[in-house]
Amino acid sequence: MLAALGAPLPAAAQTAPAAAEPQVATLEVVKVTARKREESLQDVPVAVTALTAEQLERLAIRDLGDLQGQVPNLTIYAARGSNTTITTFIRGVGQADPLWGVDPGVGIYFDDVYIARPQGALLDVYDVQRVEVLRGPQGTLYGKNTVGGAVKYVSKPLPTQTEGQVTLAMGNYGQVTAKGAVGTAVADGQLRLRVAGASLNRDGYGRNLTDGSPVSDQDTTSGRFSAGWFPTGSTFSAQLSVDRTQDASHMRGFQRLAVNRFDPAQTPPGDSRYDIAAGMPNANSTNSKGESLTLNWGVGEAWSLKYIGAHRASDTSTAIDFDGLPNKIADVRAEYHDSSNSHELQAIFEGQASSGVIGVYAFDGRAGGTVSNNFFNRSFGTTNGTVYTKGKAAFGDWSWRLTPQFSVSTGLRYTQEDKHAVVLNQAFANATFSGAPIATLANFDKTLSVSNTSPRLSLEYKLSKEVQLYTTASRGFKSGGYNIRANTAVFPRSDQPFLDEKLDSLEFGAKTVLDQGRLELNAALFHNNYKNVQLSVFTSYKLPSGASGFFGDMLNAGKATVNGAELEVLWMPSTAWRLSGHIAGTDAKYDEYIDRKGGQDVNIASVMKFTNTPKFQAGLNVEHISPMPVGTLRTRLGLSYRSKVYPTMLPPDNPGQHNEALAQDSYALVNAGLIWEKDRRLSFFLQGSNLTNRAYKTDGYDIAALGVLDAFYGPPRSFTVGGTYKF
């Protein structure tokens, strides 16, 4: 128009416009709180995998167990008896025994609150902001029982305006799922509220052939309520959260791998991976709950204070029919009860040249219950006890940027803990477990006091704008305790405490962002010295009468060395394609495995293997985004691979006898999904998992004295179709 009027053109307009550049895809910046302060995932010198809400949705992650195959060197699944009891191993470190008195080796955190017991800890994924998996010892910031690492579940924050979403889905095996959440803010955002819930139902993968009832089914209901006060013009805020979960599912089904020699009918193993023929009532339930209060206060431009106070509790009632037959060969009824209170105060500093956190922590927990054993309908015994745990800790973690390229961060945590175990194990004359006991197998009241100092030192160097290198030396520990299953009548030493686990780790890592922000490559090499490895094993013995017996022993295996490497890849070559995956290798070997043989300590390290620790694993997800006449179609193909793994503890009294029967050979799983997004509010999905219907063992029992050799399997092929509406 200016040229037509004869007016001079502006200087910027005197050149021809450049051709429009093609649209370039870049990866989102993911924020994590691995060091208890918000940082970019690519900046934190920790081997951590973070999956956002969108990634969890695209990958069809239903609960924490679905993270296996998505995270390097992670083994995570539902324990043998329950849908909501978790078993977790990272880099060869974990604990498969859910009995009170035995602590996990990987910490589970729900909104910064530690879940002390595995019952109810297999959290369903709904209304979540992200899930972080921290690999390697996290003893400085997270304390005891994070010797292998930590899994952090972070729920969605309170909103500043009304929002929410609803997901409805159906699938094979009678699956019906409903998830929803709604949040709002009133009084100009000063008061914020959020309510979320989930109902997860599925018919059984198998049946109890004795009465026709379902096994390996799901009947879980969960809900959360949170409220916050954010006064205008203030740096103070207060948030309250309450959550409840009820799991009313039945027994887990399993496959008997051999004829039980005590079965009069000599019933052969069935073909089904899930059908059993149990003679016990098919009842199995877990109720868990928690309440927390979080206070935040900015006390200056750089300093802020944070307080987290929480209470958690769970109650579990479960039937464990080890033999899977109508006969009374090995029938166990277990009741678990736990509660805990925790308090944590943090002072967080965010400066130009340094940042960090210092704090104190206190924990007061109680866990106990009763296990009633009926063996052959002739031997009746109970395991009774309570473990009281009181701990306190002081910690600090600080980072200094000495030059634009070089940073140093260091941390230290001191922990003092008392474990008070009250144990009474008795034998009775009949299955009522009442009246005067005929024998006392263990009766003690003991206290163990421990202390630990866990340091950490990290050096970080920015090789370039795209590449950051780091090396970290750190320590983690898991406190010792007492064997609740002790049988001092046969093994007088079984009432002695087992020792703290300690793990010293040296890690070298690289975090890179390449290809103009479209490619992330994160690598880590680690070397771990593992001492006093705590193992829960079944030990068989001969009675004076010549009859066989067994008891659950708790021992320290001695020393081990764990070396490994991990590589994670995330690449968006264009707006249409997204690839994510990992490759991981672990070499875990016992240097010393001390077993009790005839009152003497025997080193059997050469024949023992790490459990839940495959030597090699890999995963790959390929996603394609296609514009449609209406909306967008997302297509995903997922592959995961694990090499041979031993899923359960090996019997130290007969190493090699049944180990290979329970071992799971290498296997691969295939998953896929379609998501049609009509717009940003409405979407529909079709998801499938284990599409080749691969049979793979996750756990098992090997109790020679009872003729028991059982294997638990992962879920079969499954399909889910549904939709999500966001508002």
- Tens digits of residue pLDDT in 412-439: 999 999 999 999 999 999 999 999 999 9
Q: How large is the average pLDDT for residues 80-87?
A: 85
At 647, the pLDDT band (50, 70, 90 cuts) reads confident
Q: What is the structure's pLDDT at 283?
A: 87
Q: How far apart are CA 288 and CA 292, in angstroms?
A: 14
Over 70: is that where the pLDDT of 483 sits? Answer: yes
Q: How far apart are CA 303 and CA 663, in angstroms?
A: 52
Over 80: is that where the pLDDT of 311 sits? Answer: yes
Over 50: is that where the pLDDT of 703 sits? Answer: yes
- Residue ranges per structural domain of the chain: 24-726
Q: What is the structure's pLDDT at 545?
A: 67
Q: How far apart are CA 85 and CA 506, in angstroms?
A: 31
At 654, the pLDDT band (50, 70, 90 cuts) reads low
The phi and psi torsions of 661 (rounded to 5 degrees) equal -65, -35
- Contact partners, residue 331, CB within 8 Å, separation at least 6: 279, 280, 319, 320, 321, 322, 323, 373, 374
- Tens digits of residue pLDDT in 497-519: 999 999 999 999 999 999 999 99
Over 60: is that where the pLDDT of 25 sits? Answer: yes
Q: How large is the average pLDDT for residues 122-131?
A: 95
Q: What is the structure's pLDDT at 15?
A: 40
Mean pLDDT (the chain, rounded): 92
Q: What is the structure's pLDDT at 602?
A: 80
Answer for the pair 351, 302: CB distance below 8 angstroms, yes or no: yes
Over 60: is that where the pLDDT of 9 sits? Answer: no
**106-110 and 149-155: which strand pairing?**
parallel
Over 80: is that where the pLDDT of 333 sits? Answer: yes
Specify the pTM. 0.93
At 383, the pLDDT band (50, 70, 90 cuts) reads very high
Over 90: is that where the pLDDT of 674 sits? Answer: yes
**Residue 284 corresponds to which tokens in the numbers above?**
């199995």
**Residue 172 corresponds to which tokens in the numbers above?**
């094979």
Over 50: is that where the pLDDT of 18 sits? Answer: no
Task: For 565-617, give the DSSP string.
Answer: EEEEEEEEEETTEEEEEEEEEEEEEEEEEEEEETTEEEE-GGG---SS--SEE
Tell me which fold the domain 24-726 belongs to: Maltoporin; Chain A (2.40.170)
- Percentage of the chain exceeding pLDDT 90: 82
Over 50: is that where the pLDDT of 464 sits? Answer: yes
Q: How large is the average pLDDT for residues 248-252?
A: 94
- Tens digits of residue pLDDT in 592-637: 987 766 567 788 888 888 999 999 999 999 999 999 999 999 999 9
Rg of the Cα atoms in the chain: 27
Over 90: is that where the pLDDT of 83 sits? Answer: no
- Whole-angstrom CA distances from 368 to 316, 330, 421, 490 are 11, 22, 9, 23
Q: What is the structure's pLDDT at 548?
A: 67
Answer for the pair 156, 56: CB distance below 8 angstroms, yes or no: no
At 23, the pLDDT band (50, 70, 90 cuts) reads low
Q: What is the structure's pLDDT at 599?
A: 60
Q: How far apart are CA 104 and CA 514, in angstroms?
A: 38
Task: For 53-98, give the DSSP string.
Answer: HHHHHHTT--BGGGGTTTSTTEEEEE-TT-SS-EEEEETTEEE---
Q: What is the structure's pLDDT at 19?
A: 40
Over 80: is that where the pLDDT of 538 sits? Answer: no
State the amino acid at position 656 in one-letter form. G
- Tens digits of residue pLDDT in 32-72: 999 998 899 988 999 999 999 999 999 999 999 999 999 99
Q: How far apart are CA 281 and CA 250, in angstroms?
A: 9
Q: What is the structure's pLDDT at 596?
A: 65
